[in-house]
Structure 1
Amino acid sequence: MLRIVLVLQVLILIMFGYFVVNIQSTVNELTIQLESALLVVEDMKTVLPEIEEAVDNFNQLKPLFENLGKLSELLSVLTDPFGSNG
């Protein structure tokens, strides 16, 4: 009877050890993934001001794109003042 209890205790210890090792490896993997994610966040923090500056520069060009239609009309009047392309 004592041998059965001893065997069961050893099996329980082996199972407990397996679960501890499994949990430890999972925690290590999660730590690596978290460090990688934090590096990406830091990289984004350094790049974000440059992206905002590019968006601001593009927004400053927006009125120029709106004036392209007027410029096209002006050029067509200058190149064909009498509207004879027809």
Structure 2
Amino acid sequence: AKYLVSGKAGTMRRHSNVWRYFKQAARSVGLDDVTLHDLRAMAGTEAERQGIDPTALLGHTDRRTTQIYLRDRTTKVVTAPDKPKSKKAG
């Protein structure tokens, strides 16, 4: 396909239609405040995490522009409480 999101004839969809479909899909999985910018940021951030140049992926010529999209991927790890030890019969 020539476009990531194309119409039936393979033509480019209007931005408003792409946005509408995106919002419907996001809401269907409980994401009410996600944007296309968030999707672009996720792609750039994940590319960088995997060692792929996000500047090229996002089509930027200046790394400073790319920095706008990159997110801190520091994950806070939460550990579950220890499982209670079972009492052995006996």
Q: TM-score, normalised by structure 2?
A: 0.25
Larger radius of gyration: 1
**Higher normalized contact order (CA 8 Å, seq sep 6+, divided by chain length):** 2
Q: TM-score, normalised by structure 1?
A: 0.26
